[in-house]
Amino acid sequence: MYISNYRRKADAVFLFFIAFLFFCVARLFFIQFFKASFLKNIARRQQSLFVELEPRRGTIYDANRKPQAVNIAVDSVYANPSEIKYSEKEKIIARLCDVLEMDYAFLKDRLYRKKSFVWLARKIAPQQSQELKKLNLKGIYFIKESKRCYPNMYLAASVLGFAGLDNLGLEGLELTRDRYLKGESGWALFLRDARQKRLGLWEKMISPRDGYDLVLTIDEVIQYIAERELDKAYNAYHARGASIIVMDPHTGAILAMANRPTFDLNEYDRAAKDRMRNRSICDLFEPGSVFKIVTASAALEENKVSEEDKFFCENGSYKVATHTLHDHTPHGWLTFSEVIEQSSNIGTTKVAQILGPDIVYRYAKLFGFGVKLGIDLPGEISGSLKEPRYWSKVSIGAVPIGHEVGVTALQLAAAISVIANGGQLMRPYVVQAVQDKQGQLLKKNSPLMLRKVISVETAARVRKILTGVVENGTGKSARVVGFSAAGKTGTAQKVEPNGAYSHDKFIASFIGFAPAEDPLISIVVIIDEPRPYYFGGVVAAPVFKNVAGDVLRYIRATSPGGTLALNETSRTD
């Protein structure tokens, strides 16, 4: 009986093990043929760490290869909350708050998560990194990342724009040329040990391709001169805004472009949106008397008047349809040259009445008003220019003197350059070239003539008249010591929200070029709502004088023969 029970038990144990062995074999069979790839992937994820390799963003250089935007290596901070004892978390949070200047609630939420990796702060300042490392906090680690840095802070801010936390362009050239600057990310599979710590060994790797570099037409020195003088006027006259453009009239290359108010590119996240706007290409305003260069050029090109033809300026009061036109200073008889020199609204209107609306409109379009010029910056607007069929009876006394028309500072820069370069409308541009890290040229911008506007002879005649504006007329404050200059003043009333012209808000402007006989630079100065003085000849002309003088002396000192040689870009005659 005893032996029989023993055998039954032995058989039961034997059958159990046979069944268990069968189960194990079946399980192994199932794992091998049905779960192999799944488990293999789990093992690979545990043993390998996929890391994206960030490319270095391209550098932006000025025309003389001085860096304006670069990338530097900085620390980012992350935590492994699972390594931090519960009793120590509050103490660590308090120290992090002091060093990183971050919100307590944010850090508490991060450190109390049940994760092995949480970001605390990206791309912190070097002094913050040093201070944190000295504290040697448990569970707090650092990763090197690349951060965009602008060594000149405010200089050319609205032109350069900025890149965000992940090195993607958000404004300005950083945005429009992002496809060249950002490069292509790489990746690597690093091996990890049993504790998930990364080893210095990699299984596979694709290296990142660094971004290409940009070379601009902007000259850092000229940009500084322009911003310095614009700043003085902006602050002295308590202006709402201001813009300045310095251009090579023969090529369309922008040598300087600045706006006020501005912002520090390294602290763009603290700047108001209004400060980021590139007013030079996206702000619309009525130009006032600077627009008279269009009427003057059209009259001479069409042979409707000559410089010595005389016009009676009605002693300062002239009725056009239902509107009475006034001059800022009453005049009697003036020659055509004197009409422009003294900026007579009445004399200019009488010339425009001889031309007729169609001719005035046609030349305004030829000079680049009412259309985009195609500059390689974001935000350019076309302005506003009504076709003659939409003109009212008083428009012939408004459009020719710069009212009922909306322009940008860039359009004025291109227009005055037409007079300076012999009658050609050039496409403005700021990017001269795209190159790789070895300096190999990938793309180059060349001067492009959009169209012929007026003849060389007419341009020379208008140049002479505009020289008279500076020597004898309303632009005397624009005289440049040691150089001749030509230009035109402008003072325009701003339009109120109700459609009426304001009596206390003005746009003061000056457009010109120097030297007058062989222009190297064209300059446009716009001051928005200056106080207490608001005339272009008083407010804007001195800015032109100071900028032109310093820039021409700089060119003479640095360029062979005192001519502007912009990186082998040929001038167009």
- Catalytic site positions: 289
> In whole angstroms, how large is the CA radius of gyration of the chain?
35
* Structure-block tokens of residue 412: 């004025």
Rounded to the nearest 5 percent, the helix, strand and coil shares of the chain are 40, 25, 35
* Structure-block tokens of residue 518: 């062989």
Other CB atoms within 10 Å distance of the CB of residue 540: 36
Secondary structure of 453-515 as H, E, C letters: CCCHHHHHHHHHHHHHHHHHCCCHHHCCCCCCCEEEEEEEEEECCCCCEEEEEEEEEEEEEEC
For 523, the 3-state DSSP assignment is: strand
Report the distance separating Cα 99 and Cα 94, nearest Å: 9
Given the structure tokens 């005659």, which residue do they identify? Answer: 573
Other CB atoms within 10 Å distance of the CB of residue 264: 15
From 324, 323, 342, 322, select the one nearest 332 (Cα to Cα). Answer: 342
For 244, the 3-state DSSP assignment is: strand
Report the distance separating Cα 27 and Cα 361, nearest Å: 88
Element containing residue 146 per DSSP (H, E) = strand 140-149
Report the distance separating Cα 529 and Cα 503, nearest Å: 11
∠ CA 21-23-24 to the nearest 5 degrees?
65
CA 453, 455, 456, 462 torsion-angle sign: negative
Strand 521-528 relative to strand 241-247, pairing? antiparallel
Report the distance separating Cα 408 and Cα 526, nearest Å: 10
The backbone region for 105, taken as left when phi is positive above 0, alpha when psi lies in -120 to 50, beta otherwise, is alpha
Inter-residue contact 326 to 314 (CB < 8 Å) = no
Write the CA distances from 171 to 96, 131, 377, 493, integer angstroms.
Answer: 32, 33, 9, 31
